[in-house]
Structure 1
Amino acid sequence: MNRVPGWLLRHEVTVEPYLGTSAYGPRYGPAVTARALVAATVKRVRDRTGAETVSTAQIIAAPDLACPNGSRITLPDGRRTTALTVAHHTAPGLPVPASTEVMCE
């Protein structure tokens, strides 16, 4: 399986993976820095509950990015956002790269 080429991933994002909710609110794992391609554009998407919402940033990263829904993400411009949906794209047998797509709040 091909991976998205590293030379396409021009940005750097920081991901704090969502671990769940505790008595004190959401819990996040240790911050991880990852190379990504970030597009700051507004799109209408459905969140994990199926509700329609607006995404203001989209991230394409390597297929092994650990970023569950609800994770906190710091974008290259310093803005902090939340992962609305995460999609892992693979196409076994086809000459297209595998990647992870994250739609952000």
Structure 2
Amino acid sequence: MTRVPGWLLRHRIAIEPYRGDTAYGPSFGPQVVDIPALVAAVRTQVRDPEGREVLATAQIIAAPGLDCPPGSRVTLPDGRTATAISSASHTAPGLPVPASVEVMCG
């Protein structure tokens, strides 16, 4: 299986992976910076982990293995901080399409 080519991932993002809720609020892992990605400004409705329809304003395509669960804080190339709404791994074993991770942010 092929991976999304690195030369397509023109942007750099930073992610603080969501680790869960604590008595003091949400908990995040250490920030990972300089992650290669392809970021597109979008306005589309997606479903959050609870099944509600919400508006996504950014779509991120990255290499497989990206740790960005819903609720993670994402710093986009323009400096805006967004919250990951959904994360999906795309694979197609046996087909000539690249594997990638898609994250929708709001």
- So what's the TM-score if we normalise by structure 2? 0.97
C-alpha distance in 2 between matches for 1:64 and 1:7? 17
Letter in 2 for 1:48: P
> 1:90 corresponds to which residue?
91
Tell me by how many angstroms 1:72 deviates.
0.4
Residues 1:54 and 2:82 aligned together: no
Superposed CA offset, 1:37-90 (max 9, x none): 000111111111110110000000001111111100000000001000000000
C-alpha distance in 1 between matches for 2:90 and 2:42? 20
> 1:42 corresponds to which residue?
43
C-alpha distance in 2 between matches for 1:92 and 1:38? 25
Stretches of 4+ aligned residues off by more than 2 angstroms: none
Letter in 2 for 1:86: S
> 1:80 corresponds to which residue?
81
C-alpha distance in 2 between matches for 1:63 and 1:43? 23
> 2:5 corresponds to which residue?
5
SS at match of 1:40: strand
How many equivalent residue pairs?
Answer: 105
Structure 1 unaligned spans of 5+:
none
C-alpha distance in 1 between matches for 2:28 and 2:85? 15
C-alpha distance in 1 between matches for 2:61 and 2:15? 13
Identity of aligned residues (%): 66
- So what's the TM-score if we normalise by structure 1? 0.98
> 2:16 corresponds to which residue?
16
